[in-house]
Amino acid sequence: MMASSSSSPSPRPSRRLLPVLAVAAAVLLLGPGGGVEARQPPPLHGVRPMAFGEGYTQIFGSANLALRGEGRRVHLSLDEATGAGFASQDLFLHGFFSAAVKLPADYAAGVVVAFYLTNGDRYEKTHDELDFEFLGNVRGREWRVQTNVYGNGSTGAGREERYDLPFDPTDDFHHYSILWTKHRIIFYVDETPIREVARTEAMGAAFPSKPMSLYATIWDGSAWATLGGRYRVDYKYAPFVAQFGDLVMQGCPVSSNPAAAAAPSCGTPWFEAAASLSGEQRRAMAAFRHGHMSYSYCHDRRRYPVALSECDAARLRRLFGPDGMKYGRRGARGRRSDVVM
């Protein structure tokens, strides 16, 4: 069963305006893993990551949030008492949002780590949301990554996609980024764009278009996250620690006054141009999606007997079943994916 995303708490953060940082030269920065180089997406090249105190605030978790490296790394932990989370101090209308994340190792079934944008605290029934959700698994099974797109409260058509990863996300830091512009949304894993959502007339208000805050959380998703809730969080392995670094918010900050929030004065921000993918980037995205996407809402005929307007469901149809799940790879297990939605 597909669960609605980011059900962790989202209290309203404070609203201190931050300037939009200028884009510097294209220099590949060192990641937060003790000088280990992490492959950042092109929009991040040359951008200075922020310290926690420059733009974020803790929203829940008490002592389960710890700062390291002069506030440039954040550890969020989950134990039997609570998870933890932080949020941006500002609302943004469009921008580029990124973090390097290292996920908990060993047994992590039921653990959910999320990095996402939402305005659910302001628009209870018409909220927008853009998610990376990291779904833990039993020992020996890999973490899965899910992206969600909600616009104007369209949780009934969450536009979920789920992927495996070409690396072990518990071994080191990897960058996960969301580029959100007026006309396009792009999700990145490291340098590779993995998903593009173009605004269309048919989508209407289902394309996220209201100011959102940025959140990062870890929480107990036992009810749905692993094989439909079959495997729950086992707290004998606690605490489960998710590490965040290279925190970047390059967006258009808006007033906390809802009446003024729709009209920020940012001119023409740099990230609008960054939403134009090169041919090389599109080929890399196609290869990632062909090799690593394990669920696609566009192929799910049980949830959507009629495909949503933006779907080209004829593409790669032979790889997916009527429930949207990808068939097992030849030479692997020769059967369906082991993930149940």
Using alpha carbons, select from 149, 146, 148, 160 the residue that is nearest to residue 304.
160
18 assigned to some structural domain: no
- DSSP secondary structure letters along 298-322: EEETTT-SS--TT--TTTTGGGB-T
Catalytic residue list: 129, 133
Give the global pTM. Answer: 0.84
pLDDT at residue 32, as a whole number: 41
**Please, is 140 exposed, middle or buried when counting C-beta atoms within 10 Å of its C-beta (0-12, 13-18, 19+)?**
exposed
pLDDT at residue 238, as a whole number: 97
Residue ranges, the chain, pLDDT below 70: 1-38, 255-265, 267-268, 313-317, 329-341
Number of domains in the chain: 1
Distances (CA, A) of 66 to 24, 58, 215: 30, 10, 16
5 assigned to some structural domain: no
> What is the rounded CA–CA span in Å between residue 121 and residue 127?
8
333 assigned to some structural domain: no
pLDDT at residue 243, as a whole number: 98
pLDDT at residue 101, as a whole number: 98
CATH of the domain at 187: 2.60.120.200
37 assigned to some structural domain: no
pLDDT at residue 25, as a whole number: 26
pLDDT at residue 8, as a whole number: 40
Return the H-helix or E-strand segment holding 281.
helix 279-292
17 assigned to some structural domain: no
135 assigned to some structural domain: yes
Return the H-helix or E-strand segment holding 275.
none
Q: Show Cβ contacts of residue 94 under 8 Å, excluding neighbours closer than 6 positions.
A: 180, 181, 182, 251, 252, 269, 271, 272
15 assigned to some structural domain: no
47 assigned to some structural domain: yes
Range of the domain at 136: 42-325
8 A C-beta contact, residue 309 and residue 200: yes
